[in-house]
Amino acid sequence: MRDAMRQVREQQGEDAVILSSRRVDGWLEVVAALEDGESSEPVREPEAAKPAREARTADRAPNSAAPSWPADPELTAMRQELRDLRSLMTRQYAESDEARWAARHPLAAECKVRLIDRGFSESLARSLAGSILDDSSPEQAWERLRARLSGAIATHRPAILDEGGLLAMVGPTGVGKTTTLARIALRQIRRMGPDSVTLVTLDSQRIGATRQLQAFAQMAGISVRVLQNARELRDLARRVDDGHLILVDTAGQAPRAVEEESLFAHLPPDIRAESWLVVSATTQGSTLRRVLDAFRKADPSALVLTKLDEAEQLGEVLSVLLDQHLGLGFVSDGQRIAEDFHRVDTGYLTRLALDDDAEGAQAGGNARETWAAERLAEMEAPRRSRSPLRPAQGAEPATLELIQPVGKGRYATH
């Protein structure tokens, strides 16, 4: 029978399906059907002459054409039934395997269900739950799972904020690129003074994009430039001092319309430049995968995750982020410019994603508030200030803590 199956595949191709077989006068007759619904001639194999048959078959040309019978509706229907049966058996086997695993490891299975309920993918939930020891208590198991998830989140500590250079925000429309740029500028002003930052916008498509940056720049006492292309950006980078940070706002792009080469593709190597990809926590997992794949062309070095406060669940987003190489640098979880923008804290992010109980959430909230206060205090003490904080010439001093993002149509980005 095995030799007959081999002969059928050699003559009809790998897609041939055996429909029936029977013994006729010491021969084995096999009826097979092709994927296009045609059935082949019966292939007969004598029980006592298999070695000789194999030798004759080996001498045949591999691409020799074999005659076929006209398509038979009954055979076509039978072939489809066989395929459906095979698919059903595969699913049943997978389900039974999952059931056996759950019976052997009930605590891990319970944690897996909890993870899936919080939006995590099934494969990631199974992987995380697989680390749980059977003799653990439910509290120990969940704590171990939390620690493993927190340790798996890749982070990025950007040196460009200390060393200066070109830093561009790229990403889809409406994820908060402009507001993220303003937040980073405010951090730099508090740490190094207003002369350490220049704002640049290349977004000439969106109504109000330039005006939004100009309003922030006027209140913060820094300059903003409107440029048209990468050549003008390169010329500007050559004119500024070493250590100066140029923050570049770009137009939002749909994943299918991302430019083929990076904004900094033709910059000379002596100019330090990075792109950060800004994504929203409210994005569906499948859409986020397309965004990450499309913006590889922009060659980003880090991620900024916005709108944590607007996301119903973070499990789906984290499932995608854990499946790629970019580290997470900053997150935002509110509308306030300074207080709601933080360096990533994987412990707090994990607690949000796992939707822990009220006591744990309160503890995480207190920890985040303490952490945010420490970061603000750190920024209030400039480490490399070149000049005292001062407003632009002819402008009154502004209270930076009160800056609010300018409205952007129907999108409330932050």
Segment 208-257, tens digit of pLDDT = 667 888 888 888 888 888 888 778 888 888 877 778 899 999 888 888 87
d(C-alpha 156, C-alpha 166), whole Å = 17
* Token output for 142: 């969940």
Task: Say if CB 223 and CB 392 are below 8 A apart.
Answer: yes
Span 169-193, mean pLDDT? 92
Q: Is the pLDDT of residue 361 over 60?
A: no
Q: Is the pLDDT of residue 10 over 90?
A: no
| Best-predicted range by mean pLDDT (15-24, 124-133, 354-363) | 124-133
Q: Which of 345, 283, 274 is nearest to 319 (CA)?
A: 283
Taking only the tens place, the pLDDT of each residue in 57-104 is 444 444 545 455 566 777 788 888 888 888 877 766 666 677 787 788
Structure confidence at residue 396 as a pLDDT band (50, 70, 90): very low
What's the pLDDT at 208? 62
Q: Which of 359, 311, 358, 312 is nearest to 333 (CA)?
A: 311
What contacts 198, CB < 8 A, 6 or more positions away? 222, 223, 224, 225, 236, 240, 244, 245, 246, 247
Taking only the tens place, the pLDDT of each residue in 147-160 is 999 999 999 998 99
What's the pLDDT at 373? 53
Q: Are strands 27-33 and 17-24 parallel, antiparallel or unpaired?
A: antiparallel
Per-domain residue ranges for the chain? 1-95, 105-152, 160-402
Indicate the range of 10-14, 232-236, 323-327 predicted with least confidence.
Answer: 10-14
Structure confidence at residue 1 as a pLDDT band (50, 70, 90): low
Structure confidence at residue 182 as a pLDDT band (50, 70, 90): very high
Span 195-211, mean pLDDT? 78
d(C-alpha 221, C-alpha 395), whole Å = 8
- What are the C-alpha distances in Å from 121 to residues 29, 113, 127, 323, 356? 48, 10, 10, 11, 18
Span 304-324, mean pLDDT? 93
What's the pLDDT at 258? 83
Domain 160-402 has CATH 3.40.50.300: yes
What contacts 299, CB < 8 A, 6 or more positions away? 262, 264, 265, 275
Who wins on pLDDT, 371 or 397?
371
Indicate the range of 173-187, 190-204, 322-336 predicted with least confidence.
Answer: 190-204
Task: Say if CB 263 and CB 246 are below 8 A apart.
Answer: no
Q: Is the pLDDT of residue 275 over 50?
A: yes
Percent of the chain with pLDDT over 70: 73
Taking only the tens place, the pLDDT of each residue in 372-382 is 555 555 544 44
Who wins on pLDDT, 290 or 74?
290
Percent of the chain with pLDDT over 90: 31
What's the pLDDT at 83? 84
Span 270-281, mean pLDDT? 92
What contacts 75, CB < 8 A, 6 or more positions away? 19, 33, 37, 39
What's the pLDDT at 399? 32
| Best-predicted range by mean pLDDT (52-56, 152-156, 220-224, 385-389) | 152-156
For 103, counting Cβ atoms within 10 Å of its Cβ (0-12 exposed, 13-18 middle, 19+ buried), the class is exposed
